[in-house]
Amino acid sequence: MNPKYAPLTIYDSGADGELTDAARRFWNDRFKRFSLFIVPFTNVVPGGIGFESPNAFESRHLATLKEYADIAHARGRSPSSSSPTRGCTPAGR
């Protein structure tokens, strides 16, 4: 197996944390066939922005965060019948 690792810091957003066309292309490729992917960055307070990355401190930022999730869901690997968790119910349900 040849695992691939993403760098922790990825400069891919516009000035207001929005997805750029280049970022959309990058994430469409990066999310290909993944089952779980943790996006390694999100600005949660305006004073903590060190570089352009997704923002999550105003309701207007939700559309961008949803777009990341939509890309991940569209490109990710679907559970197969051989999945060890297929048919499992999460704890507490």
- The CA distance from 55 to 41, in Å, is 9
- The CA distance from 77 to 15, in Å, is 31
pLDDT tens string 30-89:
888 777 777 667 788 888 777 777 888 899 989 988 998 898 888 877 655 444 444 445
pLDDT tens string 8-38:
566 678 888 888 898 888 888 888 877 777 7
> Count of H helices and E strands in the chain?
2, 0
- The CA distance from 86 to 89, in Å, is 9
- Reported pTM: 0.61
